[in-house]
Amino acid sequence: MARRERAERYPVAVIGPGALGSLFAARLARVVPTAVVGRRTLEVPQADWVIVLVKAYDTPAALRTARRMRPLGIVSLQNGLIPSVPQGVTTAAAYREGRRVVPVATGSTLLPPGFGTLGKYLRKAGFEARVARDIRQARLRKLLANVCLNPVTALFRVRNGAVREPPYAILAEALAGEAAPVLRAEGLAITPTEAVRVVMEVARTTARNRSSMLQDVLAGRRTENDHLTGALLRMARRHRLAAPTHAAFYRLIRVMERGLEWSRQRRM
Ligand SMILES: NC(=O)c1ccc[n+]([C@@H]2O[C@H](COP(=O)([O-])OP(=O)(O)OC[C@H]3O[C@@H](n4cnc5c(N)ncnc54)[C@H](OP(=O)(O)O)[C@@H]3O)[C@@H](O)[C@H]2O)c1
């Protein structure tokens, strides 16, 4: 990573040197000075464009750091709906294997309006990236795939492709069918049938992948349940729509997380 004097501004900073943050930062650093800011970074650099890539539940602390950088813009490329920051959407993927980061795909990245300069840096770094005027639609569509694939794959410890087949397909279909009216009420033009099609298509194109929630469960880490299924349930409540299958998965994942936490504490 480029090292600069403290007083200089970096064109780009990435907060969260984990799987996806490292993938973005490593490629960006080849074409533009890029600061990488971890949890324990002591001197916070100043930067123009800040990309937030911590887990959703670590966002408040990351945003406090981001604001200290006096940036022109802060954008989150995290999963889940995070109302406190402009959010883009990415299908780039990477995972951690011990201390090593394994890149899976540079994918395609949509940025909210106002982040054209960052988009140029990303394209120069080899990412397919552009500003999307309808970014909210893209975020809701990503949420749809996440809330239908993540809980099923995490609970039954299967890869994404398994969701297209019995016995799991029926669960993903129920989740997609329930999510459609909720997301429609939020502005995503989608029917239950289309929602099932979208989810099954994502499961097909990512068949070999382990979802982020499955990876978290396998590593004994906290999941982003609250910002994925939890976000959908909050929307459903707001629109007075029923989402009983999502509610059941939300509780099951919470119970599983607590079980993992409990066994970790017993081992200590
Ligand atoms: N991985 C993917 O393929 C992928 C794809 C699409 C979207 N996403 C989304 O991208 C986000 C990041 O995912 P990830 O897989 O990269 O997670 P990750 O590997 O767990 O990385 C998160 C990183 O953020 C660091 N961090 C936590 N709090 C911080 C803070 N206050 N300041 C600076 N750094 C902090 C963590 O440090 P510690 O290790 O010390 O906790 C860790 O290095 C998530 O919302 C995820 O859903 C990931």
Given pLDDT bands bounded at 50, 70 and 90, which one contains residue 135? very high
pTM of the complete model: 0.94
Q: Is the CB of 123 under 6 A from ligand 1?
A: no
Question: What is the tens place of the pLDDT at every residue in 217-246?
Answer: 999 899 999 999 999 999 999 999 999 999
Given pLDDT bands bounded at 50, 70 and 90, which one contains residue 7? low
How many whole angstroms from 19 Cα to the centroid of ligand 1? 6
Ligand 1 atom closest to 61 (CA): 31
Q: Is the CB of 61 under 6 A from ligand 1?
A: yes
Question: What is the tens place of the pLDDT at every residue in 142-168?
Answer: 999 999 999 999 999 999 999 999 999
Looking at residue 186, the DSSP 8-state letter turns out to be T
Given pLDDT bands bounded at 50, 70 and 90, which one contains residue 42? confident
Question: Using CA atoms, how far apart are residues 256 and 34, in angstroms rounded to an integer?
Answer: 38
**Averaged pLDDT, 134-144:** 96
Choice from 24, 41, 55, 142 to test ligand 1 binding pocket (greatest atom count within 8 A of CB): 55
Question: What pLDDT does residue 30 have?
Answer: 98
List % helix, strand, coil for the chain (3-state, nearest 5). Answer: 50, 15, 35
Question: What is the tens place of the pLDDT at every residue in 166-209?
Answer: 999 999 999 999 999 999 999 999 999 999 999 999 999 999 99
**Averaged pLDDT, 58-77:** 98
Q: Is the CB of 213 under 6 A from ligand 1?
A: no
Chain centre distance of CA 140 = 12
Residue 212 has pLDDT above 60, yes or no: yes
Ligand 1 atom closest to 77 (CA): 10
Chain centre distance of CA 242 = 25
Q: Is the CB of 60 under 6 A from ligand 1?
A: no
**Averaged pLDDT, 91-116:** 94
Question: What pLDDT does residue 262 have?
Answer: 81
Q: Is the CB of 20 under 6 A from ligand 1?
A: yes
Question: Using CA atoms, how far apart are residues 53 and 36, in angstroms rounded to an integer?
Answer: 11
Ligand 1 atom closest to 94 (CA): 3
How many whole angstroms from 14 Cα to the centroid of ligand 1? 11
**Averaged pLDDT, 238-255:** 98
Tokens encoding 201: 């298509």
Question: What pLDDT does residue 261 have?
Answer: 81
Question: Using CA atoms, how far apart are residues 169 and 178, in angstroms rounded to an integer?
Answer: 14
How many whole angstroms from 241 Cα to the centroid of ligand 1? 32
Question: What pLDDT does residue 5 have?
Answer: 44
| Mean per-residue pLDDT over the chain, rounded | 95
The backbone torsions φ and ψ at residue 81, rounded to the nearest 5 degrees and listed phi first, read -100, 120
Which residue would you say has higher pLDDT here, 151 or 97? 151
* Length of the chain counted residue by residue: 268
